[in-house]
Amino acid sequence: MACTLERFIHSLDARTLPRVLQIQSGIYFQGSIYEMFGNECCLSTGEVIKVIGFKINKLIASICENNEVSRFSAKVELPLNFPGLYKVVADKTPYVSIEEITKKVSIGPTRFGHPCFYSPEDIKLANLTIKHGEQITFNSVEEVNGTMAVNCGVVRNNQSHSFTLPLSQEGKFYECEDDQIYTLKEIAEWKIPKCRNRIVKLSNTLHTWDSSNPLPENFDGCLILTPVYEVQAVMKFRKDIVHILSDLDVEVKDITDCYDISSFLQPLSLEDVFERTSKEFPMVAEIMEGPSGSQKPYNLLHTGKEIVIYKKYQATRVLASEIRSDSPKRHFLIPPSYKGKFKRRPREFPTAYDLEIARSEKEQLHVVATKAFDSPHKELFSVSVGDQFLVQQCQTSEVLYEGRKKVIDVLACEQILSDTYKKVLLPMYMEGGFVEVIHDKKQYQLSEICKEFRLPFNVKVSVRDLSVEEDVLAAVPGLQLEEEITDSYLLISSTNSPVESWEIPVYRLNMSVHLLSKDVQAVVPPATKTTVEEISEEQYYMVRRYENQTLHPPPRPPKKPALAPKPVFAVPKHGVSDVLQAPENVCVDTTKKLCSNQAAAVSELQVSCQNDLVHHENKKDTTGKATLLDTSVIKDLTNQGLGKCEAEKDEEEEHNYDYVDENIIENIRKVFQDATVRNKHALSEGRRDI
């Protein structure tokens, strides 16, 4: 039965791809040329195409009143990168079975792919009864004992209970209210059900209104979003992939069941190639759709080019991020073959617990306090800005709390005084701020850092990699080497001039090929070239594993009654960022919080600070301990920077701009979630101690 292309795509289940369609009728029935994304294709009546994929290309928005399209609202096109944060309005129309939910709603491994529903009636299972109105989280779809089912969960009394619901489960299932905020791109990818529209409420515009904005000025209402899909298809006598918008005015008929689908070229993604057995390599392939990008080897992989794929394998990379206070940060994957050299840069530690994690047997950790801390126990040390410590070890100590003794974990340190050292104890729960003092001037290879130090580790390129034309890391002022990862790669070269071979990532390169029945001339690949790969914010979160996420600082006990504040230096939480390079560069870099037109003045201040402290050479006493840095200069510089920061803050508040960069949304969410987990952990432990 014929239907419009739009209707067919809106109802198409991606799990049934590929599908073969025949063009029935439309404004292109005479074989007109249709161009999309630079690809021309002829859609004549009777033409046969194979649909291999589809994704939302843009959204058509209408202003919503009482869950209906406003009579006075014109439809406007919104690109997926249209700025703004939106809340999803729960759909009032119920789903009639679990199977319908799995067909129409995106369920996946990310936090976006865990939709929540409730049933107006109790659901009785073998060992659990789901009460009516109880929120059910859908986590994944998989086969259980030969039956397809959904892994679900409910939370009762802060305890999670897991169970499965078969796809055959019938009943009314309503969407739960969602209090999260999303970008349009996230809504398009995860929150628009098939065959349904989606109502969203504008939460934050993220930019000031101007005449180019398709929405009315000061609009803060609801929108009805209708998706327009980009369809990827293969035509019978073409070797590339064509892209067609789903709102094209043509009618199609699904003839998959009565057509030889093998008569089409078979496009393979890099994931498809990687899934082939090792015995099938090497192989020759022709690129049907090449990746975008000017960096080698991506600029060599254009449509129609023949390549040799020698093998598949796992390779290690070091995940690194640019050190900067503002966003967006740049992220890199550095291969072990990188030939540049690094010098150490100071690390920042927000708590005493982080000092314990960073402590190593190789060298003693020397830090400067950048935030004051008033200890609630007389047995423990109170910290002022500029205090310097040598970190020793973690131990336990007795403290007097509400008239009774209590044993807590503490960090033993030595405070560096002008002519002596004082043993002090810092509570592990201490939320202060510390900056590392670097005494090490050595230049390190990447492999040496990974072998000798614990990641994360702060560095700067001191000698660039001379084996490449442009070393992208050399221009980055500071890098944090976060962790070593293992990723999937294919080794390829050109069939025409196999002078060198390249590693290409399997899961970050959007590229399609089809295999050719040709013999590989050289089974042994030529010399392999590896490059530093710069990845996007989204790709960064895909590869980041957060191995230490289960480690949390010990909870802080309830505070004692507030006392009169002591005259200590108060510094904003992020007021000191780039820490002291010892012995010559003994100053605190506050430029990250200053305007660009103040940078020169700060630079002069830092030079003056360095000149005043040149006499502090890296001397050690008879015990081999580091000498004290001039804390008065540190405090003076910190306070001057603070004054400028506050003046800048007042100036910014006069403008009251309401703009948020979408690239930092994920960072905001992560910080919020981490803080929530830590606060819950601290609260539960505090109650247990009491």
Cβ 430 vs Cβ 373: under 8 Å: yes
How far is the CA of 114 from the CAs of 10, 352, 489, in angstroms? 21, 36, 30
> Mean pLDDT of all residues in the chain?
77
Q: What is the pLDDT of residues 614-633, one digit of tens each?
A: 333 333 443 444 555 544 44
Report the pLDDT value the prediction gives residue 72, as an integer from 0 to 100. Answer: 54
pLDDT, tens digit, 9 for 90 and up, residues 452-503: 888 889 999 999 999 888 899 999 999 999 999 988 999 999 888 778 889 9
Q: Which long-range contacts (CB under 8 A, 24 or more apart) does 539-546 make?
A: 539/331, 539/508, 540/319, 540/321, 540/331, 541/666, 542/507, 542/508, 543/319, 543/333, 543/485, 543/487, 544/319, 544/482, 544/483, 545/483, 545/485
Q: ∠ CA(463), CA(467), CA(471), 5° rounding? A: 55
Length, in residues, of the chain: 690
Identify the pLDDT of residue 571. Answer: 39
Euclidean distance between CA atoms 118 and 178, whole angstroms: 12
pLDDT of residue 332: 95
What are the angstrom distances between the C-alpha of 662 and each of 78, 534, 542?
Answer: 16, 19, 17
665 neighbors 85 (Cβ within 8 angstroms): yes
The answer to whether 360 and 451 are in contact (CB under 8 A) is no
Tokens of 608: 């003056």
Which amino acid, one-letter code, is at 441? K
Res 675: pLDDT: 54
- In this model, does residue 404 exceed pLDDT 90? no
Q: Quick: pLDDT tens for 110-148.
A: 778 899 999 999 999 888 899 999 999 999 998 888 889
Question: Hunting for tokens 């022709």 — which residue is that?
Answer: 286
- The pLDDT assigned to 617 comes to 37
Q: Annotate 281-333 with DSSP letters as a single string.
A: -SEEEEEEEPPP-SSTTGGG--TT-EEEEEEEEEEEEEEEEE--SSSPPPEEE
* pLDDT value for 657: 32
Q: Could you report the per-residue pLDDT of 255-306, keeping only the tens digit for each?
A: 999 888 888 888 888 998 998 888 889 999 999 888 876 677 777 788 889 9
Average pLDDT score over residue span 190-202: 89
Query: What average pLDDT score do residues 218-241 get?
Result: 84
CB 90 within 8 A of CB 193: no
Kindly provide the b/e burial profile for residues 666-685, where b requires at least 16 CB atoms within 10 angstroms of the residue's own CB.
Answer: beeeeeeeeeeeeeeebeeb
Please spell the DSSP secondary structure of 208-228, one letter per residue: ---TT-SSPTT--SEEEEEEE
Residue 167 has pLDDT above 50, yes or no: yes
Contact 620, 627 (CB under 8 A): yes
Higher pLDDT, 585 or 185: 185
pLDDT of residue 636: 45
- Between residues 555 and 286, the one the model is more confident about: 286
- 67 pLDDT band, cuts 50/70/90, is low
Tell me: the pLDDT tens digits for 20-47?
999 887 654 344 445 554 455 567 788 8
Cβ contacts of 118 within 8 Å, gap of 6 or more = 132, 133, 134, 135, 136, 173, 174, 176
Contact between residue 73 and residue 45 where contact means Cβ atoms under 8 Å apart: no
Q: What is the residue whose two structure tokens read 């689908």?
A: 261
CB 134 within 8 A of CB 64: no
More confident residue, 593 or 674: 674
DSSP assignment of 118-149, as one string?
Answer: E-SS-EE-SS-EEPTT--EEEEEEEEETTEEE
Asked if residue 340 has pLDDT above 90, the reply is yes
Higher pLDDT, 311 or 299: 311
**Quick check: bond before 297 cis, omega within 30?**
yes
Take residue 411 and report the two structure tokens written for it.
């960090």
Where b means 16+ CB within 10 Å and e means fewer, 412-429 reads bbbbbeeeebeebbbbbb
* Least confident piece of the model among 175-179, 237-241, 685-689: 685-689
Question: To the nearest 5 percent, what fractions of the chain are helix, strand and coil?
Answer: 20, 35, 45
The answer to whether the CB of 327 falls within 8 A of the CB of 407 is no
Cβ neighbors of 131 (< 8 A, separation 6 or more) are: 122
Model pLDDT, residue 175: 95
Tens of pLDDT along 587-613? 333 333 333 333 333 333 333 333 333
The proportion of the chain whose per-residue pLDDT surpasses 70, expressed as a percent, equals 73
For 450, list phi and psi in degrees, rounded to 5: -65, -30
- Percent of the chain clearing pLDDT 90 (strictly above): 30
Judged against a pLDDT cut of 80, whether residue 330 lies above it is answered with yes
Report the pLDDT value the prediction gives residue 423, as an integer from 0 to 100.
92
For Cα atoms 123, 124, 126, give the angle at the middle one, nearest 5 degrees.
140
pLDDT at 73: 65
